[in-house]
Structures are given as structure tokens and as C-alpha cells.
Structure 1
Amino acid sequence: MTMMEKEPQQPLSEWVTLISHDEFTFHILRSSANLSGTIRRMLDPKSGFKESVTGVCHFENISGTVLEKVCEYLYYKDRYQGMTNVPDLEIAPEVSLELALAADYLDCRAVACEGIMINVLI
């Protein structure tokens, strides 16, 4: 095989894996995970990141509790995108600050804004 010839690319898996710093593992639909700008860029085959090949993203600065809420939010956002009558996403006050930091890092700030607004109103 010459340098110009490339092996056929494997189709992208429908699922990706997100792993927190405390080793909690979440399997999430790629379409939902891609709603996070950071995760989308990590998984982009053109990025050259190992995550784009393995489909596994490690987050050394995000706890399992917070990553679980991020996954919940990504599914929530995917499900209700474009709808007007959307139920509230429940966010416990004790995770609000850490969730806001994770949401900023993951480029899905809406979860941080919604979570903080809900907790300010409580």
C-alpha cells in the first residue's frame, strides 16, 4: 500500500464512552455527546485526537456525579431541542458550582446557566 492509499475508515460508532476522574463510566449516544463542543471536537475524526479513534473520552477534572448530570443534560437537550414546552431539568444545589465549571469546560454552558438559575430561584 502506498502513502497515497489509505485504509478504508471504520464507520463511527453510534456510542461513545465518557470516563470521570473517579473512574465512573458512561456510555452515551454520539449524537447527544456531540452537543458538547469540547466532546464533539475530541471525537472529530479530523482532529487527530486519540479519542476520535477510540471513542473514549477521559475527564480528569470532572467527578462521576457531575459527569452523570452532564450526560443527563445532553440527552435532555437532544430530546427537547427546538421544543417550547420543556420540563425543568432537576439540578441539586450541592453540584451547581462544580456543574457550572464542567459545563464551561465542555462547552455546554446552557446546563450551567439553567442549573444556576434554577438553584437561585429555589
Structure 2
Amino acid sequence: VLDEIGSSDVEMEDQSDTGQNKEYGDCDGPDALYVKLISSDNHEFIIKREHALTSGTIRAMLNVPGNFIESETNEIAFREIPSHILSKVCMYFTYKVCYTNSSTEIPEFPITPEIALELLMAANFLDC
């Protein structure tokens, strides 16, 4: 799944020559760089906050302090979205961020017919 969105969009811990981990941020606190999206089958997707905010629904849940527990924990559990759909949604977030206002030719975002209906329902719910 990660190969499809490009390795430059995925940040991981890196072992330096000294053996210590280099950190790229986490999901904690109001200024977190990442958010955790949890599918109905309990798969966790940690994505850049900027990418997640592509969704109007997620933006509303994360940017209104005190109204949603999600704005404090930066974790959102989707009881109706399975991992095979949520992974595609996360790929779309990255695609949209990369190609919005792009001057290059925008490639087609691939969607297989088998997931099209479920993906449409998730996109409608997520307002993206």
C-alpha cells in the first residue's frame, strides 16, 4: 500500500550511524504533525495531519477544541469504514495534496470497480 503513494510521502524512523532514532513527530497534542485513523477492522493509518485535513469531516473533528475527543487525541475511529477502503482514502488525501494547484499533468487516480461504491460512500461521509 505504501509503495503506491510514494516513499517521499511516508516518513519513518531512521537509524543514524550513532544507533539513535531520528524522530519525525507524532500524533500527540494540538500541534501534532500526524493523525491516526482507525478502520472498522482495527487497522491504524498514521498520516500527515495536513493530508487528513483534506476531509471536511476530519477537519471539523480535529479543529474544534473541546467538542470532540478526537481533537485532543488526534485519533479517529471509523466504525463503518474497513481498512481496504480507508487505505485508499489515505492514498487519495496524498494524491489531492500533491496535485492541488499543480502545473503538471494530473494523473488519473486509480479506483477498481470492486471498491467504487464503498469508496464513494466513504468519500461522501468524509466530505472529500
TM-score by length of 2: 0.74
* Alignment partner, residue 16 of structure 1: 35
CA contact 1:41–1:47 (8 Å) conserved in 2: no
- Runs of at least 4 residues of structure 1 off by over 2 A? none
**For 1:28, what is the secondary structure of its paired residue?**
strand
AA in 1 matched with 2:89: V
* Alignment partner, residue 18 of structure 2: none
* Alignment partner, residue 109 of structure 2: 89
Higher helix fraction (1 or 2): 1
**For 1:66, what is the secondary structure of its paired residue?**
helix
* Alignment partner, residue 67 of structure 2: 48
- The CA RMSD measured in Å over matched residues stands at 1.2
Structure number with greater Rg is 1
- TM-aligned CA deviation for residue 68 of structure 1: 0.3
* Alignment partner, residue 115 of structure 1: none
The reply to whether residue 60 of structure 1 matches residue 79 of structure 2 is yes
The reply to whether residue 98 of structure 1 matches residue 118 of structure 2 is yes
TM-score by length of 1: 0.77
The reply to whether residue 38 of structure 1 matches residue 54 of structure 2 is no
Gaps of 5+ in 1: 1-9, 109-122
Tell me the number of residue pairs that the alignment of Structure 1 and Structure 2 aligns.
Answer: 99
